[in-house]
Amino acid sequence: MPRPLITEDDRTRLLANGQARAAGEAIDPLPVVRLFTPDAHVTWLLVSLDPADGDTCYGLIDLGIGMPELGTVKLSDLAGIVGPRQQPVMCDRYFQPTRTLSEYVRVAEQDGAIPD
């Protein structure tokens, strides 16, 4: 059985941010998880999970084409993605956010990529 993309702790934190977003709160959280493709230079910094479906995440998405942007992605879709060398999407277990989402967005827009 494949390893889940996020831990239960990650899910709890993502849902808490998702509930705040759904309630209309103006939040600028630290990203909870960093997902990536080891062979395709695609990165997702996720901050929240939609409490209505428990699958749709919101965060900063970098498809590796120099135009990172905020958006949504379904965890169920990410679970089925593989890169050109058949590497699946992975969770960066060592990721420690150093800035809020808006700061990651500012730097990513400036540099054309999500900073490590």
pTM score of the predicted model: 0.92
Domain-located, residue 100: yes
Burial of 48 by CB count in 10 Å (0-12 exposed, 13-18 middle, 19+ buried)? Answer: buried
Domain-located, residue 3: no
Residue type, 47: V
Question: 83 pairs with which residues across the strands?
Answer: none
Domain-located, residue 59: yes
Query: Which of 44, 43, 33 has the alpha carbon at shortest distance from 93?
Result: 33
Overall domain count for the chain: 1
pLDDT tens, position by position, 44-89: 999 999 999 999 999 999 998 999 999 999 999 999 988 889 889 9
Say if residues 45 and 31 touch (Cβ distance below 8 Å): yes
pLDDT for the residue numbered 32: 98
Summarize the confidence of residues 29-53 as an average pLDDT: 95
Domain-located, residue 105: yes
Token pair, residue 73, equals 């992605």
Domain-located, residue 99: yes
Cα angle 101, 106, 112; round to 5: 110
Q: In residues, how long is the chain?
A: 116
Which residues form the domain of 83?
Answer: 8-111
Domain-located, residue 1: no
- The DSSP code for 69 is E
Domain-located, residue 15: yes
Domain-located, residue 116: no
- For 15, residues 6+ apart whose C-beta sits below 8 A from its C-beta are 48, 49, 51, 54
